[in-house]
Amino acid sequence: MLNQFKNFFPEDLKNGKIKYYYEPFLGSGAVFFFIAQNYPIKKAFLSDINEELILTYNAVKNDVSTLIKNLKKLKRDYYSLNEKYQELFFYKHRDTYNKEKSKIDFTAYSKEWVVRAAQMIFLNKTCFNGLFSLNRKGEFNVPFGRYKNPGILNEENLLLASEVLKIAEISLTDFELIQEYITHDFFVYFDPPYRPISKTSSFTSYSKHEFNDKDQKRLAKLFKELGINGNKLMLSNSDPHNENSSDNFFENHYSDFMIEKVKASRMINCKGDKRGAINELIITNYNLGAIQ
């Protein structure tokens, strides 16, 4: 999506006038990493409500060498086993990961964060479809992936990510609290859990926290409030018109803003014939001009 997204970025980011970036639904961080490496921002503020995600990003930023050392051991131990015992190894670590959670203080950085981050990356790389999903208890619940050569450790990428993250302040917080950080001349990109486009679809199960229409409305309210002092705002979300042409949820709640459609390829669906290109929405509080 980045090849499309960059056409929607504000001109003030492209010409160097915007120095501060905020991404309150961090997720994979793909947009942050792209912006940090291609535009002259001085400082980034990154946040998410997913405590495991924020823990891992902070471990990558603060102690990548120890993280790599832990991942090397997990990789070595895993690859020394045949497939049957690799599966047992996976479930043993998944069980330990879930049981140890109660001992982790997610509010204060410690050496335990690095160990847990390594476990999280290992599970994510060896589980089914590389998913990260938690049940209502906050337990990681994705099954074993059965891959022959999962990429457990990409040392070069971790080192590069750690370097890029040096300009970032990474925090565990609800998206509404970003108002405490934003003053003026920020570029803020919102990538919330997408609103389901049908009764059987859901984009919110990566966390134990539900993100429903009430939260989507909270976000729309925040979007309106932040568009002052020269702040530039961009939001992506699902397009309800893919399934229901009369569902104008976003047109109703973002009626004062620019709404454009982009094509997205979605591969996560239990039904193969439902995978492929669909429309998604890009909403901005600035005039996009001519999209290339």
Indicate the DSSP class of residue 289.
Answer: -
**Structural contact between residues 142 and 132, judged by C-beta atoms closer than 8 angstroms:** yes
Choose between 189 and 133: higher pLDDT.
189
Residues 6+ apart with CB under 8 A from 199: none
- For residue 184, is pLDDT > 90? no
pLDDT digits (tens, 9 = 90+) for 140-156: 999 999 999 999 999 99
CA–CA gap between residue 192 and residue 237 (Å, rounded)? 7
Angle at 125 between CA 119 and CA 126, to 5 degrees: 90
Residues paired with 44 in a beta bridge: 21, 168
| Tens-place pLDDT, residues 85-94 | 999 999 999 9
Per-residue pLDDT tens over the stretch 219-235 = 999 999 998 888 999 99
Tell me the whole-structure pTM to 2 decimals: 0.89
What is the mean predicted confidence (pLDDT) over 256-260?
95
Q: What is the mean pLDDT of residues 57-66?
A: 98
State the DSSP code for 165. Answer: G
Contact 242, 276 (CB under 8 A): no
Is the pLDDT at 292 greater than 70? The verdict is: no
Residue pair 75/153 in contact by the 8 Å Cβ criterion: yes
pLDDT above 60 for 95? yes
Are 257 and 204 in contact by the 8 Å Cβ rule? The answer is: no
Question: What's the DSSP call for residue 276?
Answer: E
In this prediction, residue 232 carries a pLDDT of: 96
